[in-house]
Structure formats: C-alpha cells, structure tokens
C-alpha cells in the first residue's frame, strides 16, 4: 500500500493519506471536517495532538507552534505529512460536514465604499443557484496561475443568494488593488466555496464573546445575522477593534443590533485614537476584552481578523482561563503563494516572516 493511515481519535475515523499529502488535505478529500483557517501553518486552527507516529513539514514550517509545543506532540495538520501511520487527537466540526464544495461564477451587482480602504462587494451566483454555506465561512477567489485569495462571507445565507464581501485594500496586493482600481458592476469572479470552520457551535449556553479586528468584522456580522434568525438565550458581546473610528465601517448596523436585541451588546476599541468616549475605548481590542473579563473560563470566544490579533488573542485568552476547545478563530493570513514567496525570501535572508 502507498501512503499512510491516520486514526482521528474523537470521531474514531480513519483517513488515507497519499505520499507527500498533508493530513488536512487528505481529510478534506474524504469529507472529514477538521478545523482549519489560514492553510499556511501560521494560525494554529488545525492544531491536533499526536498520540502515535511521526510527521514531517516539507511545505511551510509549523510557525503557529512553539518548540515546546512541538516537543509535547502538538501538530499542525494543514502542513503535517505522515511518515508512517498516525494517531491524532482532534475534534471535528460536524456542522460543516456534507456541505458541497463548489466552483462557481459570481457577478458583481453592487460595490459600496464602506471606509477609505474597505469596499463592500455584493455578488450573485451567475447560474442562479444560491451557494450552500454556514455563517462564518469564507470563499476563495480564484486568480490566474492557481493563485487564490480568501474572503469571509459577510452575510448569513439569503434566499436571493446574494453574497457580501468586505475587501480591505492592501498596498501592493495582487487582488485587492484590482478590486479598488478595475473591478466594476457586472464583472465576474470565479470562486470556490464554502471553506473554513469558523462557524457558531451548537449546543452551548455559555455567553459568547465575539472579537473582530478591522474586516474581521465580516464573518462576525454573518454569525450575528444567523443568531438573529434564532435568537439565543445567552448573552452575545461584540468587541470590534480598529485604528480609527472611521474604520468601524458599519457601526450603524451594530447600533441597530444593540437597540433591537437585549441579548446583544457592543464595545468599539480604537488603537490609534485617544478617546475619553466610553463608546470608543482606546487601546488594543484583545486587551479591552481581558480588562472586562479577566477570567474567561465560562465563555465561548470567537475572533477573526489580522494575524497579529489572532496570535496575541489565542495566547492571552487561554492564559486568562479560556479552554482551548472553546476558542474559535479565523486568521486573515497571507495567501499560500505569497507566504511561500516570503519564506523563500526569508531563507535567502535568514529572517522571520512576521
């Protein structure tokens, strides 16, 4: 037999992994629902614990794990290639299993400037078939030469099939510069979707903390829209961090949620603006969460946004008592092709990619 077998403890399932294939890639091929986000080895969403066997990392290094964590048997399944049969402890995300992965064309029906550097894209499936997905998932825009860029879907599924994206302009960015300079209504984007496991977990009555950085608001907005359809019996509190108040691009929508739902509350946190307005606190958003909730043991916490926020939050929140299996996140990391180029450059220069 070529390849290896991986036993997923928790779901008691087996995955056949081809030679040179990562565990996550094989698991997705076989409709297993392992958690993942950046697919680059940097965010740690796909972290599991290796009970038996040996893995190698021939593609990207497992940057999300410290040397101590690697030593203790932690593995990153989006990069880990088995060197023999494995036993891995990891919990699957049952909710996303069975939703078909599609490639489809989306037509731009509307473009709205939400902030100086954020455009809202409103897209409809060209074939009229609404995409099946869960609130919080993302899509990949398929570019030339096999490159792809991930964008969170910013709305819960709608009967008319409209999909909303919040695209932040990245200086020198291969795709987002095009969105700001060349994309127009009527244009078509080829996408693959749905992707990701950043979806609300059912069956918990613990209060939810939602933490967004910048356009990390997009999947959080989708999740809140989903919750509005089945109002939760638990409290939901959103912390939205940005540099300036003008970056909080849909705050009027958040104000409506606050007004309409007693279960929902909101705190804005600005990193680059001094403020004595309690509605817009100053500082870093994860520090504001910790200042308000020094003990996170009784919460479920969902966060999305730039890698620096995710990296800071996933350490600080766990240090404050949040169990790791109640911390869910999407890290808006570099696309794999960009990261690979950066890693090659790092290899030449002997520097870290941060």
Ligand X SMILES: Cc1cc2nc3c(=O)[nH]c(=O)nc-3n(C[C@H](O)[C@H](O)[C@H](O)COP(=O)(O)OP(=O)(O)OC[C@H]3O[C@@H](n4cnc5c(N)ncnc54)[C@H](O)[C@@H]3O)c2cc1C
Chosen residue from 166, 237, 280, 314 binding ligand X by CB under 6 A: 166
Please enumerate, as own/partner, the contacts of 288-293 that have beta carbons within 8 Å and a separation of 24 or more.
288/239, 288/241, 289/209, 289/211, 289/239, 289/313, 289/317, 290/316, 290/317, 290/320, 292/267, 293/209, 293/320
Min dist. Cβ of residue 312 to ligand X (A): 17
Chosen residue from 78, 335, 336, 343 binding ligand X by CB under 6 A: 335
Site residues for ligand X, window 14-43 (CB under 6 A)? Answer: 37-38
How many chain residues bind ligand X (CB under 6 A)?
A: 29
Instruction: Give dist(CA 190, CA 172) in Å, integer.
Output: 22
Q: What are the phi and psi torsion angles at 209 (to 5°)?
A: -110, 130
The yes or no reply on residue 101 touching ligand X (CB under 6 A) is: no
The yes or no reply on residue 328 touching ligand X (CB under 6 A) is: no
Min dist. Cβ of residue 333 to ligand X (A): 5
Q: Which residue has the tokens 């614990």?
A: 49
The yes or no reply on residue 60 touching ligand X (CB under 6 A) is: no
The yes or no reply on residue 152 touching ligand X (CB under 6 A) is: yes
The yes or no reply on residue 308 touching ligand X (CB under 6 A) is: no
Q: Where are the beta strands (DSSP E) in the chain?
A: 4-9, 13-17, 47-52, 55-56, 74-76, 81-82, 86-89, 102-115, 118-125, 138-142, 148-152, 163-168, 188-195, 208-213, 236-242, 264-270, 280-282, 300-305, 327-331
The yes or no reply on residue 218 touching ligand X (CB under 6 A) is: yes
The yes or no reply on residue 278 touching ligand X (CB under 6 A) is: no
Min dist. Cβ of residue 336 to ligand X (A): 9
The stretch near ligand X (CB under 6 A) out of 19-27, 79-87, 186-194, 327-335 is 327-335
The yes or no reply on residue 1 touching ligand X (CB under 6 A) is: no
Instruction: Give dist(CA 75, CA 289) in Å, integer.
Output: 28
Residue placing its CB nearer to ligand X in the complex, 142 or 290: 142
Binding mask of the shown chain, residues 61 to 80, with x at each position contacting ligand X by CB under 6 A: --------------------
CB 192 within 8 A of CB 102: yes
* Angle formed by the axes of helices 307-319 and 285-292, nearest 10°: 20
Min dist. Cβ of residue 126 to ligand X (A): 21
To 10 degrees, the CA torsion angle through 164, 170, 175, 179? 50
The yes or no reply on residue 135 touching ligand X (CB under 6 A) is: no
The yes or no reply on residue 175 touching ligand X (CB under 6 A) is: yes
Neighbouring residues of 89: CB distance < 8 A, sequence distance ≥ 6: 9, 10, 48, 49, 51
Chosen residue from 13, 312, 318, 338 binding ligand X by CB under 6 A: 338
The yes or no reply on residue 108 touching ligand X (CB under 6 A) is: no
The yes or no reply on residue 96 touching ligand X (CB under 6 A) is: no
Query: Residue length, the chain?
Result: 354
Min dist. Cβ of residue 166 to ligand X (A): 5
Residue placing its CB nearer to ligand X in the complex, 302 or 334: 334
Query: Applying CB under 6 A, which residues contact ligand X?
Result: 37-38, 138, 149-152, 166-168, 170-176, 196, 215, 218, 330, 332-335, 338, 341-342, 345
């Amino acid at each position: 037999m070529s390849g290896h077998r991986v036993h997923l403890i928790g779901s008691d399932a087996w995955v056949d992994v081809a030679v040179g294939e990562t565990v996550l890639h094989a698991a997705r091929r076989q409709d297993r629902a392992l958690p993942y986000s950046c697919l680059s080895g940097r965010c740690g969403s796909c972290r599991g614990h290796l009970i038996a066997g040996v893995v190698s990392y021939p593609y990207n290094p497992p940057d999300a794990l410290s040397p101590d964590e690697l030593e203790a048997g932690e593995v990153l399944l989006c990069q880990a290639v088995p060197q023999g049969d494995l036993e891995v402890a990891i919990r699957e995300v049952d909710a996303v299993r069975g939703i078909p992965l599609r490639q489809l064309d989306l037509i731009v029906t509307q473009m709205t400037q939400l902030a100086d550097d954020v455009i809202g894209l409103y897209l409809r499936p060209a074939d009229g078939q609404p995409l099946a997905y869960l609130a919080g998932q993302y899509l990949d825009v398929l570019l030339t030469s096999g490159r792809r860029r991930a964008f969170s879907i910013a709305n819960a599924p709608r009967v008319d099939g409209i999909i909303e994206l919040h695209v932040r302009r990245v200086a020198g960015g291969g795709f987002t510069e095009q969105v700001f300079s060349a994309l127009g209504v009527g244009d078509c984007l080829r996408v693959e979707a749905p992707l990701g496991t950043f979806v609300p977990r059912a069956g918990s009555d613990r209060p939810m903390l939602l933490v967004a950085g910048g356009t990390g608001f997009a999947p959080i907005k989708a999740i809140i829209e989903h919750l509005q359809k089945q109002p939760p019996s638990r409290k939901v509190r959103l912390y939205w961090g940005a540099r300036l108040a003008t970056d909080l691009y849909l705050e009027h929508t958040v104000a409506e949620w606050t007004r309409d739902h007693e279960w929902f509350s909101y705190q804005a946190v600005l990193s680059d603006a001094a403020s004595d307005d309690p509605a817009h606190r100053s500082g870093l958003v994860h520090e504001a969460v910790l200042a308000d909730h020094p003990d996170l043991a009784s919460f479920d916490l969902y966060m999305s946004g730039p890698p620096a926020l995710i990296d800071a939050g996933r350490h600080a929140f766990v240090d404050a008592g949040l169990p790791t299996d109640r911390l869910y996140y999407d890290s808006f990391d570099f696309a794999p092709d960009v990261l690979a180029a950066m890693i090659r450059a790092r290899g030449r220069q002997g520097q870290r990619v941060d």
